[in-house]
Amino acid sequence: MKNRTSTRLFPIEITILASLIVVLSACAAPSTEENLVGISAPTEELMAEEPTPSPEPTDNPFGNWSEYQNDNFGFRFLYPTSWFGPEVSESEGSLRVEVGSDQVYPYGTSREDQITSLPDSYYILIQYVEITEGRSWDDFISSGWIDTYLALQEKEDRQYILTPRLAATRIGEVKLGEFSGLIYLATLPDTAQTERAYIREAVLFDSELNWLRISGFPNLVQIEDPENWKNDYARVDQSYLETFLTTLESIEFK
């Protein structure tokens, strides 16, 4: 892992990533009149999106990128050579890998010990889980963590769902080899009284219900207008969009 001298400036945005992922997993339901009361629609930047890729695995068409490879899972992806990481957490049947344009810390590092300093930086977190035998789709549904994914499956591209704690916009379908799923953007509704959060996420399953989640999120965003902070998060997200999509496209299982 590369090292960089930096001031002690821990970003609140990273600490709330886990909270928003929980919201993504458990709080999204298809839009209804009851859900929409008193909640503003996502910003124009959130709604206006690029075409969704349907990538095919290749050796390395992306130039000077580094490769992460895990032989235990037969898994690999590419990331910018100048980035930090990868930081890897591996357990039986699951893999978590994080890379970023600023310092990346091992999973479980306390917030007091995490130091980042690069304004408008970006992180990509990849999680892969192999499902144990006997697990069914109904088990996923009953667990609640894919509620956002299920709700957005019922939407058209660029449509969104809103709840008191979540605003998520469907970008479109995506396919990686045997895996298929959705890409979407998730942030907070204007009425949410919590810290700022903004995540681009792809969730995919294969025929055996093994699942893959790729999350990209801005960090230390420079806010020009606090009342319209989502515009600045969207700006940073768009500046790293090609990196996110290239990393996504490079994922391959052997």
Cβ-count burial of 108 within 10 angstroms (0-12 exposed, 13-18 middle, 19+ buried)?
A: exposed
Is 251:76 a contact under the CB 8 Å cutoff? Answer: yes
Is there a domain that residue 135 lies in? yes
Is there a domain that residue 111 lies in? yes
Is there a domain that residue 170 lies in? yes
Is there a domain that residue 3 lies in? no
Q: What is the pLDDT of residue 116?
A: 86
Is there a domain that residue 4 lies in? no
Q: What is the pLDDT of residue 61?
A: 56
Is there a domain that residue 231 lies in? yes
Q: What is the pLDDT of residue 223?
A: 95
Q: What is the CATH number of the domain that holds 80?
A: 3.40.1000.10
Give the predicted TM-score (pTM) of the model.
0.77
The domain containing residue 151 runs over which residues? 12-253
Is there a domain that residue 139 lies in? yes
Report in angstroms the alpha-carbon separations of 168 from 76, 92, 155, 187: 28, 31, 11, 6
Give me the number of domains the chain comprises.
1
Is there a domain that residue 128 lies in? yes
- Each residue's pLDDT, cut to its tens digit, for the chain (254 residues) gives 443 333 323 333 333 444 454 444 443 333 333 333 333 344 444 444 454 444 444 455 556 799 999 999 999 999 999 999 999 999 888 999 999 999 999 998 888 888 888 999 999 999 999 987 667 788 777 777 788 999 999 999 999 999 888 999 999 999 999 999 999 999 999 888 778 899 999 999 999 999 999 999 999 999 999 989 999 999 999 999 999 999 999 999 88
Q: What is the pLDDT of residue 136?
A: 79
